[in-house]
């Protein structure tokens, strides 16, 4: 079954590059695998959840490649059996709901296909991840909304066990893997494909981080001797690439924000309005996960919402000498944090406060902040280069104990959670747990650097000057700047549109 599904997928993806003889031979092999499963009565024998769902995928691929209606009927039989096997012979097997969905696509429910263990059939988190892998491939091959429903159910079932910083899955207590404190890498394509093609905007902010970790995890695959690693490389990242190849390319872009609230957009980033900040300077622009909106906040803590960004409240009155310096949105777009120069954190909507620095003595004011991809933590950076982490944000180092030639202005993180970059007003870059891609530290600047944002790929970043000059490094694409026609008011920061 597994060989047939991988060969069938390869044939569909590579048909334009294959000669007619190879296409005919591979088609015959996939059809032969499907015929064997039918003859052997595997389509009505419940082995385990990932296997019975894989049988359905084999039939779907055989039908797509041959057009033979026998395989279409076999697909319907196999899929129905995987979900609801006959309970007299197969008690406790099939799809088990832990949260009944109200939506037809299953996006508000949770379920798993049972996996056999020493105590009988039940829930195994690792094998539910494998079931999600198969359902994702099935959705790519057929577009069947029932496959999308299974993807949502499986993803929601295992999501509470996923560490989105380390990108591991807690498999403890499973029917097939009962060991306590056991984890495996979460490389499943289900998250990215649901975000891209399943309407799951809540997962979108996590995609770049997971892909960065998958890239890191598989880079050494050519040096491994494990056949299983090669199989995983050909199945999990391959499904992401197949889905990415069928979605429209997003050209990306970025915004700049000036002190007077004017928003400047470049590339695919949309202009949705300017913030009427008045006498208080605008300090931060935060895009929503969909890139269909953004918030702007001024130093007094007034929040202005545009596009699909929802207004959820502002800071109100501020103590003397305290001002808002930055803002971060939650992964759901239903909340945000405001951060002040004294390290105070104000949470709105579904944003959770994980702690702050308001009761601590700081060597320099807080100037910037950023949330972790899953919204379960955040970073703050002070002008002396001190970095402060809360929730699931991981500390990788700082410049707090080092004398600097220019104050630190901003911080941006690698989406995979491995580390972060700091930028000083002279364009100097300080890297912690991440690669260095270049800086303007040795370049004479017309105006100081006031902001920095990272590419969602994790392999580049962009610096912005107070005059609107843009400096792109790594794989960050240059989409334009204001350097030749400086804005009326200084630029206070920038934000990238997600790719």
- Whether residue 274 is found in the same domain as residue 351: yes
- Whether residue 240 is found in the same domain as residue 278: no
- Residues 386, 398 contacting (CB under 8 angstroms): yes
Q: For residue 436, what are its two tokens?
A: 């260095």
- Whether residue 217 is found in the same domain as residue 285: no
- Whether residue 213 is found in the same domain as residue 265: no
Structural domains of the chain, count: 2
Better-scored residue on pLDDT, 227 or 489: 489
Q: For residue 369, what are its two tokens?
A: 């902040």
CA of 338: how far to CAs of 280, 299, 385, 421, 499, in Å?
16, 10, 20, 21, 25
Residue where a domain terminates, one of 210, 245, 280: 245
- Whether residue 63 is found in the same domain as residue 198: yes
- Whether residue 235 is found in the same domain as residue 363: no
CA 419 to chain centre: 16
- Whether residue 211 is found in the same domain as residue 64: yes
Residue where a domain terminates, one of 216, 245, 274: 245
Q: Is the pLDDT of residue 117 over 80?
A: yes
Q: Is the pLDDT of residue 355 over 60?
A: yes
What does residue 300 show for φ and ψ, rounded to 5 degrees?
A: -85, -5
Nearest to 431 by CA among 150, 336, 439: 439
Nearest to 162 by CA among 154, 458, 243, 271: 154
- Whether residue 235 is found in the same domain as residue 264: no
Q: Looking at the chain, how many residues does it have? A: 499
Count CB atoms within 10 A of the CB of residue 225: 6
Tell me the mean pLDDT in the region 335-358.
96
Tell me the mean pLDDT in the region 355-377.
92
Q: For residue 38, what are its two tokens?
A: 């039918």
Q: How big is the chain by its Cα radius of gyration, in Å?
A: 25
pLDDT of residue 499: 44
Better-scored residue on pLDDT, 435 or 36: 36
pLDDT of residue 383: 95
- Whether residue 403 is found in the same domain as residue 286: yes
- Whether residue 287 is found in the same domain as residue 234: no
- Whether residue 302 is found in the same domain as residue 375: yes
Residue where a domain terminates, one of 196, 224, 245: 245
Better-scored residue on pLDDT, 449 or 213: 449
Q: What is the pLDDT of residues 457-499, one digit of tens each?
A: 778 899 999 999 999 998 888 999 997 888 999 999 999 876 4
Q: For residue 390, what are its two tokens?
A: 């809360």
Q: Residue 233: pLDDT band by 50, 70, 90 thresholds?
A: low
For strand 282-287 and strand 387-391, is the pairing parallel, antiparallel, or unpaired?
unpaired
> For the range 349-356, what are the long-range contacts, defined as Cβ-Cβ under 8 Å and sequence gap of 24 or more?
349/310, 349/312, 349/313, 351/375, 352/376, 352/391, 354/378, 354/390, 354/391, 355/390, 355/391, 356/380, 356/390
Q: What is the pLDDT of residues 17-39, one digit of tens each?
A: 888 899 999 999 999 999 999 99
CA of 258: how far to CAs of 261, 299, 328, 361, 491, in Å?
5, 12, 18, 30, 4
pLDDT of residue 87: 94
Containing structural domain, residue 174: 2-245
- Whether residue 229 is found in the same domain as residue 275: no
Angle formed at CA 457 by CA 350 and CA 141, multiple of 5 degrees = 85
Q: Return the CATH number at 449.
A: 2.130.10.10
Residue with tokens 């590419």: 455
pLDDT of residue 234: 61
d(CA 335, CA 237): 32
Q: Residue 246: pLDDT band by 50, 70, 90 thresholds?
A: low
Better-scored residue on pLDDT, 252 or 114: 114
pLDDT of residue 146: 92
Q: For residue 131, what are its two tokens?
A: 């079931």
């Amino acid at each position: 079954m597994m060989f047939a599904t991988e060969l069938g997928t390869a044939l569909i993806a590579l048909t334009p590059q294959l000669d007619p003889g190879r296409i005919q031979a591979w088609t015959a092999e996939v059809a032969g695998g499907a015929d064997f499963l039918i003859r052997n009565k595997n389509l009505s024998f419940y082995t385990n959840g990932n296997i019975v769902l894989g049988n359905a995928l084999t039939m779907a691929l055989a039908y797509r490649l041959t057009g033979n209606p026998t395989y279409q009927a076999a697909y319907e039989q196999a899929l129905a059996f995987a979900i609801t096997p006959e309970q007299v012979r197969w008690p406790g097997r099939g799809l088990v709901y832990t949260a009944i969905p109200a939506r037809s696509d299953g996006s508000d429910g949770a379920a798993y296909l049972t996996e056999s263990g020493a105590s009988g059939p039940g829930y195994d988190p690792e094998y539910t991840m494998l079931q999600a892998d198969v359902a994702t491939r099935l959705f790519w091959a057929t577009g069947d909304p029932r496959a999308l429903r299974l993807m949502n159910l499986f993803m929601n079932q295992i999501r509470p066990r996923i560490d989105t910083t380390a990108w591991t899955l807690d498999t403890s207590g499973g029917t097939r893997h009962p060991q306590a404190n056991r984890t495996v890498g979460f490389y499943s394509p289900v998250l990215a494909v649901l975000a891209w093609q399943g309407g799951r905007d809540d997962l979108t902010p996590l995609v770049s981080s997971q892909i960065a970790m998958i890239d890191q995890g598989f880079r050494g695959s050519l040096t491994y001797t494990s056949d299983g690693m090669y199989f995983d490389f050909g199945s999990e990242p391959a499904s992401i690439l197949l889905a990415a190849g069928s979605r429209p390319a997003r050209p990306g872009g970025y915004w700049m924000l000036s002190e007077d609230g004017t928003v400047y957009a470049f590339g695919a980033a949309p202009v949705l309005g300017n913030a009427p900040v008045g006498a208080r300077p605008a300090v931060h622009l935060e895009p929503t996960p969909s890139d269909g909106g953004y918030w702007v906040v001024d130093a007094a803590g007034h929040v202005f919402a545009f596009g699909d960004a929802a207004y959820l409240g502002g800071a109100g009155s501020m103590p003397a000498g305290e001002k808002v310096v930055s803002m971060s949105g939650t992964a759901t777009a239903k909340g945000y944090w405001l951060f002040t120069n004294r390290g105070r954190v104000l949470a709105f909507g579904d944003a959770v406060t994980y702690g702050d620095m308001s009761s601590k003595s700081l060597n320099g004011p807080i100037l910037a902040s950023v949330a972790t991809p899953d919204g379960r933590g955040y970073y703050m950076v002070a002008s002396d280069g001190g970095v402060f982490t809360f929730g699931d944000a991981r500390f990788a180092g700082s410049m707090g104990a080092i004398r600097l030639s220019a104050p630190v202005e901003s911080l941006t993180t690698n989406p995979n959670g491995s580390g972060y970059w700091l930028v000083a007003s002279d364009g100097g870059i300080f890297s912690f747990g991440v690669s260095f891609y270049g800086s303007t530290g040795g370049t004479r600047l017309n105006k100081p650097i006031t902001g920095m944002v990272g590419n969602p790929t994790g392999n580049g970043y962009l610096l912005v000057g107070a005059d609107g000059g843009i400096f792109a490094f790594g794989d960050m694409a240059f989409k334009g700047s204001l350097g030749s026609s400086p804005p009326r008011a200084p630029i206070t920061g920038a934000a990238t549109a997600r790719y």
